[in-house]
Structure 1
């Protein structure tokens, strides 16, 4: 009986020790970690844009009339000076004939004025006519000469309008759109009507991308670009920045800038008007130490400590009047952070200051402070605190995370 009682006491002590051990273990913070390793990092600027031909030519009409023939349609390849449309020339042929008649009449009047002036000159020399008659005849001759010039100009204008009845393609290319049909009347009284839109060369295209004002300072001519379109979601196309335009575009108080990207479209897969999701490659580094960005957001590993700010900023000193002000903190200093590293032998994580480089929104380059193989804390889960009586509150809420 005494032996049984002793065994029960030992069993109770073991159970209490186990409960105490589990309780203390549950009160310890739980850490999620990641190992520092080497790899490649690419810093990019993302944007959206529209694919356009490098050269778009609008073919219009300078005259009004009915379309009687069309020699090009959608997607038709055309050559420079190829006839693409014909406007009914009947009215303009009649106008040319009328101008020819007016010119012939003006030339006849000029001949009569020349003979009259010559006759008056002879009479004045013979003192058979007053000088005023000669002056009148010379003035009439000059008027007749001016009228002939006017009629000649009208004839040339009529001929030009007749030539404009035939519409030619100004460049080699392909017809992107056709805006008229046979029998349609085009009116050029107010503005030139558009008949065709011709793309010069679809094997070379460009993306007009909208880059936010916060990112445009990192974009430079010559940078490589990767982009995708919805038509080919599993294919990555490539381009290069050729122009960073200074004209700002403001839509609903959002300021963007047009960055032009040159694209090789030799296989003609890309079509005008497609929406492109663009990644402009600002910097790319290989074989660098990289740390998960989640580790940079850990501010404390102590449940009772006050979280420190991620990157404290000193109070700036106002610059002297009349002098150019530059920030007292360098770019490298602005990239200083503190992370928590697990000791190799175990124990509580230790804060370690590090210097950062480029990032790709998931990982960030570590330039100083860590080495390959170090284990950093990426998440901390603090246990729920119990009340003074030792019992936990079922309504205490979820564990705190940093």
Structure 2
């Protein structure tokens, strides 16, 4: 006989609908997401500004210059060479000393040339005596022909003889002068004043008029000149700056400072003498020549130096420290400036000319712009920034650099 199930005495919990549990889970998730977004928003709004140092740009007047290097040369260089052949009897100077123009340097044996001079003088004296006799005869015939004491032909022959003897005298005078000049060439003199170098010959050496080796070299070093090359592109850029009025020309004869090999500045200022009128086809450069006084002979030929040439005055220059400028791979330049919202902003600039440890900026910035010079490692475009202390003016930076 089957038993019927006996109902339990404990009350059974009512079943919770499925849709109510799902709704509760969604509410919890929404609250969590809203809390997370609020935290992130609060974090972004309170981000700390990056501390940076800036310079405020201001227009200023500067003298723009360029440095060009080269080697010094003596203002005059003369090679001492014999103009006749012979044996060197004496050397009459001290090697490495200063000599004067016309000073005797070598004595060549004059015996042969003295004999040639004496012979030419004797020949001239004979020709002069013959001419005098011919003139006397012609004068006598001039009187006799009037009374028909001599023929007209004899008189004409006498006159012709005078003219012939006069021509001989002129030729013999030239021969004597040539002999005198050659005799003078036995005394080899300094063609210019200056410092003479080592002698290539000694006493007893045979020299000739057509030899290739100079006896010695004299260099006038009271003044020195420096030839330097400048790219024609830079030359054109400078001319355009003058034409636009951005630069005021320093003019021909502008002062030039000389920097020696050890970095010291030479005490005497030089001048720009000239610039070449042609561009070298192989190098694309123009030659400039500068002259420097050298009264104490502190400068020597062959010294490697750098010339600092004043090119012109820029009355509206904007200077930016070089450490603030970043170069791109394409050669362009950029800086970071602080905008009106105190955010960093990257600006492309044109900065091709250096001025000490700064760049002369010709495009991309204006007076009053605040250029970031420190703290750049943490700065990106749009980064909030805070200026540390008082900013440094560009004028102060320029005066400190120069």
Q: Normalising by structure 1, what TM-score? A: 0.62
Among 144, 151, 157, the residue aligned to 1:130: 151
Q: What corresponds to 2:219 in structure 1?
A: 199
Q: Would the aligned equivalents of 2:351 and 2:360 in 1 still touch at CA under 8 Å?
A: yes
Answer with 1 or 2: which has the greater Rg.
2
Q: What corresponds to 2:306 in structure 1?
A: 277
Moved more, 206-215 or 355-364: 355-364
Q: What is the deviation of 1:143?
A: 0.7
Among 337, 356, 371, the residue aligned to 1:341: 337
Q: What corresponds to 1:396 in structure 2?
A: none
Q: Would the aligned equivalents of 2:326 and 2:334 in 1 still touch at CA under 8 Å?
A: no
Mapped partners of 1:249, 1:68: distance in 2 = 50
Over 3 Å counting, the alpha-carbon distance change for 1:361 and 1:213 in structure 2 is: farther
Among 168, 185, 200, the residue aligned to 1:147: 168
Among 100, 123, 134, the residue aligned to 1:113: 134
Mapped partners of 1:286, 1:179: distance in 2 = 57
Deviations 1:217-247 (A, max 9, x none): 54843444344344xx242336333312324
Please list, as runs of the form range in 1=range in 2, the aligned pairs for 1:110-259 lying within 5 A after superposition.
110-118=131-139, 120-121=141-142, 123-176=144-197, 178-188=199-209, 194-202=214-222, 204-216=223-235, 218=238, 220-230=251-261, 233-237=262-266, 239-248=269-278, 250=280, 253-259=282-288
Secondary structure of the residue that 2:112 maps to in structure 1? helix
Q: What is the deviation of 1:128?
A: 4.1
Q: Does 1:94 align with 2:115?
A: yes
Mapped partners of 1:365, 1:123: distance in 2 = 101
Q: Would the aligned equivalents of 1:206 and 1:261 in 2 still touch at CA under 8 Å?
A: yes
Q: Would the aligned equivalents of 2:337 and 2:369 in 1 still touch at CA under 8 Å?
A: no
Which ranges of structure 2 fall in alignment gaps of 5 or more residues? 1-31, 45-49, 239-249, 381-402
Mapped partners of 2:317, 2:234: distance in 1 = 24
Q: What is the deviation of 1:155?
A: 1.4
Secondary structure of the residue that 2:264 maps to in structure 1? strand
Over 3 Å counting, the alpha-carbon distance change for 1:162 and 1:32 in structure 2 is: farther
Q: What is the deviation of 1:61?
A: 3.8
Secondary structure of the residue that 1:236 maps to in structure 2? coil
Q: What is the deviation of 1:271?
A: 1.0
Q: What is the deviation of 1:42?
A: 6.8
Q: Would the aligned equivalents of 2:124 and 2:172 in 1 still touch at CA under 8 Å?
A: yes
Secondary structure of the residue that 2:276 maps to in structure 1? strand
Mapped partners of 1:249, 1:181: distance in 2 = 45
Which ranges of structure 1 fall in alignment gaps of 5 or more residues? 1-12, 26-30, 300-306, 311-336, 383-402
Over 3 Å counting, the alpha-carbon distance change for 1:224 and 1:207 in structure 2 is: same
Among 372, 376, 379, the residue aligned to 1:375: 372
Over 3 Å counting, the alpha-carbon distance change for 1:197 and 1:248 in structure 2 is: farther
Secondary structure of the residue that 1:55 maps to in structure 2? strand
Q: What corresponds to 1:363 in structure 2?
A: 358
Mapped partners of 2:324, 2:336: distance in 1 = 8
Q: Would the aligned equivalents of 1:353 and 1:369 in 2 still touch at CA under 8 Å?
A: no
Secondary structure of the residue that 2:148 maps to in structure 1? coil
Q: Would the aligned equivalents of 2:57 and 2:366 in 1 still touch at CA under 8 Å?
A: no
Over 3 Å counting, the alpha-carbon distance change for 1:116 and 1:79 in structure 2 is: same
Moved more, 131-140 or 52-61: 52-61
Q: Does 1:45 align with 2:41?
A: no
Deviations 1:278-311 (A, max 9, x none): 3324357899863245755578xxxxxxx9996x
Mapped partners of 2:251, 2:316: distance in 1 = 25
Q: What is the deviation of 1:151?
A: 1.2
Mapped partners of 2:369, 2:171: distance in 1 = 90
